[in-house]
Structures are given as C-alpha cells and as structure tokens.
Chains A and B, each alone.
Chain A
Amino acid sequence: MADRPLLAVEALDKYFPLRRSLVAGMMGHPRRRVQAAKEVSFAIGKGESFGLVGESGCGKTTLGRLVLGLLPPDGGVIRFDGQDITKVEPTARRALRRQMQMVFQDPYSSLNPRIRIGSAIGEPIRLHGIVPPDEVAGEVARLLERVGLPASAASRYPSELSGGQRQRVGIARALSVRPKLLVADEAVSGLDVSVRAQVLNLLADLRRDLGLTLMFISHDLGVIEYLCETVGVMYLGTMVEYGPTSAVFARPAHPYTRALLASIPRADPSAVGQETPLAGEPPSPVDPPSGCPFRTRCPSARPLCETPPPRVMLPGGHWAVCHFATEVVRNGR
C-alpha cells in the first residue's frame, strides 16, 4: 500500500516514576510519576516532514526517543512501515532500528571524541555490510561530500571541527545505514544563525533528494514553519494540536498554539507584540491539571475546561484538543 504512513503512533503513554522515599513507600503512599506522554497519536507519511514543537519539559524529546525505541512505552502502539515495533523480538528490532536514525542536539557530545570522523561513519557501513568492504572508504567520502564536507575530513577528530561541521558529520553518520526515517531532536538549536540556515537547507535537500521522512523536534516555530509540512504541538505530554503547518500557523485552533505563535519575537520592529504574553509557567508534569492541561494558563479558560477536552476535527486534517477549538479559529488573527 502506497498510502500507508511510514510511522503511525497510537495512544502512546509514557510515565517516569519518581523516586519515593522509604517511609512514603511503607505508609502506602502511591508512587508519583511524571507524565511524559499521554495518549499521543499522530502519523507521518512516507517522505513527509513532520515538526514537533513545544516548550522544555513538554515531552517532545521523550516522544522522539519512544519512536526510535530508545525508551520503552508504557502503553500504545508504534507502527513503523506497518510493524508494531513495541512487539517485535530483539533481533528484528535491531534491523528495524537501523531504518530510523537520529540527529542529536549537541554536536559536541554526539560524536565520540576518540574516534576519527572516517571511522565514525565507516563503522556502521562495514558492520552492516552496506557496501563491499573495499568500497567503504569511497562510501564515507561520498557521504561526507553529500553533507557538504570535504572527503579529507575523514581523517580528523571531532575536536578539530566546528559545531556546524560536527552536526554535518552527525547527519552523515545517520545516513550511513540508509535509514527511512530521520529524527532530528533540536538539531539546529546549538548553532549560530548563519550556520543554522546551512544545516536547515541541507536537511531540506536531503529529504528531497533521498526521499527521507523527517521528524523534526524543535522549540523554534520559525524553523518548523520553514522545514515542515505538518506540525504537532505538545503541551505537558499531550499533543494539543496537529495539522498542516500552513493551517496551524495561519489558523491556530488551540489557545496554546496561538500564545506560542504570539510569543515569537518577530524580526520586524513594526510588529512589536500587541498581545500580552502568556502569563505564568507550565505546571509540573507530576500532577498535571485535571481536564484540559492548559487551563491553568489559558486566557479563555471556562468551567467546562475542567472536563477532558475532545479532539475537534477541522478541515484539511487539522485537529485540536480543546472544547472551544472552532471558536478559537473563528476569533483568530
């Protein structure tokens, strides 16, 4: 089936139990837990570029690691190419895993300081027999050139490269095993503006040329708008809005998305924010509010918000989890 999404996540749950003191345990107090993902569902089509946006602690990084199988979920289904990766046995999982690779945030800790660039990229190629052994060096050179580095970089150590160059190496390493899905977790956040644009363009080119599917996790709405076709907005472990980027940015249907968009400092002095910034800070994910998780900060919260909000479907595959989604869209910008 051509239309089957490459990645389909359904009702995914993840909790991190907090350490409980011995006394509390003996007194029979329930174990408290951090809610990192609660009933998260979304899908990414083949070749699509999906952006996951949210503030720190909203669970976006956890979601990326769940998808990659670096963390086991506490509930729900993750289907990759039709297979439920939470249920496959370890050997099959390793083969599946290779089809999903990650680009990390910190270009300084994502490369082993003691391994030359050439080996870092060549090791997985050799190990998985991607190309015959005598062609590994050529493949490494080809990958380096693909990400915009000279082939001579193979003989360098990570400490000899700049942050942007290391990020390119990280991308080349991820591409070495010819994955179908690339998860990029804040992959450009640590980079300077001009270098960031270089890496963003590289990712966009790679996606187009190699038909890669991209899951791009970021706190930066501008970057997501630039790179992604669809976007999911996370708040306190739940996905509060999902849809085509153009629709979500033009007609946000969740008050949180609206506030997020209004908070971006626009590089345009004539657009000095008239809207008052969102008050307060996100509540602790240990005891999230009942009903709508956003109601404690929502400028238009009403009594109904204390009950769990429904997923409101809007035109064009756009949805929001808010009692008043249609109202928010209508009163929008």
Chain B
Amino acid sequence: MRRGLRARGSLQRWPRNLKLGVGLMIAWILVAVFGPMLLPGNPTTMDLMNSLHPPSLAFPFGTDNLGRGVFTRVVYGSRIDLQIALFCVVPAFVIGTMVGMSAGYFGGTTDVVSMRLVDVAVAFPFFVAVIAIVAVLGPGLKNMYIAVACVGWVSYARITRAEILVVKQTDYVQAARLLGFSDRRILARHILPNVIVQALVYATSDAVLDIFLGSSLGWLGLGAQPPLPEWGLIIADGYSFVSQAPWISGFPGLAIVLLAVSLSLLGDGLADALRPELGRA
C-alpha cells in the first residue's frame, strides 16, 4: 500500500528486453509488409549477366548464381518465414492449450485419454515425425503446417495441464467455487490468465524452432519449393558457392538468427512482464 499504484499498461514499466523484442518484431513485420513494395527488383527474375556479384551499392547483399539480388530475396523471404512462424505456432497453441486445459481442469477420463495421446506423439522425435508426415503428404509449406500442428500441440498441452493442476489447487480458485461461480467463469477468468503465460512464452521459442524447421525442410526440398525466396532455400541455393560467394548463404542465415533473437527477446520480456508479483510485499 505504501507503494504507488503500479500502472500495468504503461510503456515505461515494460522490462527492457520486452521493449527491445517488441520493437524488433514490429520492425520485422514492417519489412515483411512494406519491404517488397519499396524494392524495385523482383526476387525471382534472373539476370545471368550479374551472377555472383559481391555486395555493392546496387546489390547490398550481392547476387546469387542466377543474378538475383540476395537483399531482395531476403526481404521477400521475411514474408514467408514470418508466415511459417505464425502458421506453425497458432494451430499448435490453440489445440494444445485447449486439450491441456480440459485435461487439467476436468481430470478423469478426459485427462487419461489426452495424456495417452500426448505419450504417443512424444514417442517420435519432433523433427523425425514432421519429416515423416511431410514425406507422406508431399512436400510444400501447407503440408508442413499440417505436420507441425499434428505434432506441436503436445508441448502446449503438457505445459497448460501442469499449470492448471497447480492453479486449480490454489485457495483463490477454491474461494471462487465457494462464491458460487460457474466452472466456465472460474476457468476463463480465474485460471486461464494465470496459466496462459507459460504457453505464450513457450510459443515464442517454439516459433524460433519452427523457423529453423521451415528453413531445414526448405533446404531438404520438403518445405517451400523453389523459386520461392524462403531463407532456408536461399541458403541451400548458395551452399554450392560458399567458398566463392559466401554472401548468398550468409545474409539469409543472419536474417534467421536476427529473427530468432527478436523472438527470444519477446518471449523473455513477456515472461518478465506477465509474471504476477507473488513476492511478499
């Protein structure tokens, strides 16, 4: 009480890593949305006269073996890779938290059935399972999204369930029951806000993983298909020219790292900002 009212929403109170993470993610989204409009070139137009051009004023990141500007391709690629992060994480997040929530809150048969499903899903290593599913469904981004949704929800379900089991026992949930609140109200208002944070923080690191996955599958020829300027594909294209033209693989690699760092900062920042101060006043 001695302390002043803590303004939860005010920007100044945000942890520094959250500010940085949010700033970087906004920058990435601006690049993805407006970058392609501002660039004169086309990511797929070949110009064999200018192939393997080192970075210069005309080609800031140099050109690849087909004379395409690596900068243009990386900027266009940000659209694809951000889309990969989003489409891989959101379905897994939604399915996983819903399964975890009902398993944790209602227990009993719901819990047993969903947790056995989880056991089955984790029996296969994540990458192996995704590659296997994509191999069956056929290469392409859409099938990759389906594969990740099939496997990725498991972690969210586990995290949410574990958190719910803890929160369900707290005195404030018992108090809510005594006050005559309905199950739906208790779940939505008293439990969910306290359990979703963990899943949300995990989602940011999961997004990093999914971008690496997208790039790896692209590299293997199972994800995005050429001539799409997906970063993994660009790296794969430059692979044969690494010694002569390291910029072809280097710059998209740098972009992946930078996006991963942005997402981790966002995740860490969220974890710091959303953690309720349970510390004794």
Decide: A177 and B1 in contact? CB cutoff 8 A: no
Q: Is the CB of A162 within 8 A of B1?
A: yes
Return chain A residues, CB-CB under 8 Å to B171. Answer: 104-106, 109-110
| Known interface pairs A110-B172, A110-B175; A177-B180 also in contact (CB < 8 Å) | yes
Q: Chain A's nearest CB lies how many Å from the CB of B91?
A: 27
| B 1-27 binary contact with A (CB < 8 Å = 1; else 0) | 101011000000000000000000000
Residue of B177, B180, B276, B277 with most chain A CB atoms under a 10 A cut-off: B180
For B170, the chain A residues whose CB sits under 8 A away are: 109-110
- Find out whether the CB atom of B281 lies under 8 angstroms from the CB atom of A162: yes
Query: Which residue on B lies nearest to A128, using beta carbons?
Result: B180
User: Which residue of chain B is the closest to A153 with respect to CB atoms?
Assistant: B1
Interchain nearest-CB distance for B215 vs A (Å) = 37
Cβ contacts under 8 Å, B280 to chain A = 108, 163
CB distance from B14 to the nearest CB of A (A): 17
Judge whether A159 and B180 touch: CB under 8 Å. Answer: no
Question: Smallest Cβ distance from B180 to chain A, in angstroms?
Answer: 5
Q: Taking the nearest CB of chain A, how far is it from the CB of B195, in angstroms?
A: 11
B197 (CB) vs chain A CBs: closest residue: A114
Q: Across the interface, do A109 and B180 meet the contact criterion of CB distance under 8 Å?
A: no
A102 adjacent to B1 (CB under 8 Å): no
Measured CA separation A157–B276 after assembly (Å): 10
Whole-angstrom distance between the alpha carbons of A230 and B3 in the complex? 42
Nearest-CB distance from B164 to chain A (Å)? Answer: 14
Report B160-196 residues with CB < 8 Å from chain A CB.
170-172, 174-181, 185, 189-190, 193-194
Question: Hey, which chain B residues are within 8 Å of A123, CB to CB?
Answer: 179, 181, 189
Q: Which of A105, A124, A153, A161 has the most CB of B within 10 A?
A: A124
A201 at interface by CB-CB < 8 Å? no
Q: Is the CB of A159 within 8 A of B1?
A: no
Complex Cα distance, B278 from A108, in Å, reads 7
Given A112-B194, A161-B281, residue A124 in contact with residue B177 (CB < 8 A): no
Q: Which 9 A-B pairs have the closest CB atoms?
A: A113-B276, A110-B171, A159-B277, A104-B171, A124-B179, A112-B172, A109-B171, A98-B180, A94-B180
Interface residues of B (CB under 8 A from A): 1, 3, 5-6, 170-172, 174-181, 185, 189-190, 193-194, 276-281
**Assuming A105-B171, A163-B280, A177-B179, what are 7 further A-B pairs, CB within 8 angstroms?**
A104-B174, A109-B170, A113-B277, A123-B181, A170-B175, A173-B175, A173-B179
